[in-house]
Amino acid sequence: METITKQSPQGCNNICPTPPPLPGPAMNCRRKGSATKGNSCASTATRDLWDNLFDRGYRADVTIRTNDGGIIYAHAGVLGMASPVLRGMLKQAKGVGHKRLISIHGVQHDAVRVFIRFLYSSCYEQEEMKELVLPLLVLSHAFVVPQLKRICEQQLENSLLTLDNVVDVFQLSLLCDAPRLVLLTHRMILRNIKAVSATEGWIAMKRSHPALEKEILESMIYEDQMEKERIRKLNERKIYLQLYEAMEALVHICRDGCRTIGPCDKDLKDDQKPCTYEACKGIELLVRHFAGCKLRVPGGCIHCKRMWQLLELHSRLCADSGSCRVPLCRNFKDKIKKQFKKDEMKWKVLAKKILSTKRIGGEPYFLSSKSISSY
């Protein structure tokens, strides 16, 4: 403003325009719901002043040519301070008299006008943003105006991203170095691939960038495989947790007794507290069947076979088979020494996964995963 004051304007009776007010607290926040023009981080008086300077073109020294022969008048000082790219263009620009001439092509005239206006007052009309968000994103990236670029990205993320424009936004995000927007649009495409593939944007991309379409389809296959792998691991973890709970319930029944079943030297009371072991009821039924089944030999009965497997698994997790109350624990420990190496490795891997899933290294009656690796 000091430069403007020292100049001698002609035809205005040597009266200089009123300088903008000093920045106040309103400069640091966006005011919502106020009866102000557009959206801005500046105070109302400051914004109106800079808007008037742009709208009236007072002492403008730059002419900007746009598509369809459109012309916008601006000030070199404002453009040069707001954008390093425009500053470089102005240094190389040729002019007539005191005015320099630059051209901004590739987007519609209205988008360039809204863009230049933002450089003055950091404000925009919501309706204009809704209509011109994509060309404004391109202009803000091409001319290095990060504040406007962030606003465009936020507007697209919050409300302006649709199935009809998501492919266009995805391509522009790649070109404009907007990684968060790339991620959001890519996920939206994958979630709605059937609807998106029928849009004009997808058809145009398929014609002009077939390699990009191929990458999206390959990523969809990869995401599908990753989802299946995630579900498989969740189901696997669920099985390991169930096995761990079965081991806990087996030790609980054989050591402490539960309700109507327990060691022969244990007096079971009818007024016992409800059992806290979820797998206890199932293990109790399995033990009762195992005790009375006539086909108890391994392979003769599917329920007995499951019981044999649980007893062997317990012996591999048991920390002290000498004082363990679970039947056949010591017998299975002795059997381990004579087992084939291939079968031994299978049991080791299973036991280690159960322990690592539940992270129970500190349990008094279970080994740690490190102990299993060592024996």
Q: What is the pLDDT of residues 162-173, one digit of tens each?
A: 999 999 999 999
pLDDT tens track for 86-100: 999 998 887 666 788
pLDDT tens track for 182-226: 999 999 999 999 999 999 999 999 999 999 999 999 998 998 899
Predicted model pTM: 0.61
User: What pLDDT is stored for residue 45 in this prediction?
Assistant: 83
User: What pLDDT is stored for residue 13 in this prediction?
Assistant: 44
Task: Kindly report the CATH number assigned to the domain that includes residue 349.
Answer: 1.20.1020.10
User: What pLDDT is stored for residue 46 in this prediction?
Assistant: 80
> Measured at the alpha carbon of residue 199, what is the angle toward residues 196 and 205, in degrees to the nearest 5?
90
Q: Which residues of the chain have pLDDT under 70?
A: 1-42, 95-97, 259-260, 262-272, 296-299, 358-375
Task: Kindly report the CATH number assigned to the domain that includes residue 122.
Answer: 3.30.710.10
In a domain, 259, yes or no: yes
Q: What is the DSSP code (8-state) at residue 158?
A: I
> Among the three residues 143, 164, 184, which one is the final residue of a domain in this structure?
143
* Residues of the domain holding 306: 234-356
> Among the three residues 101, 119, 143, which one is the final residue of a domain in this structure?
143
Contacts by 217-226 with C-beta closer than 8 Å and gap 24+?
219/186, 219/190, 220/190, 220/193, 223/190
Domain count, the chain: 2
User: What pLDDT is stored for residue 296 in this prediction?
Assistant: 64
In a domain, 202, yes or no: no
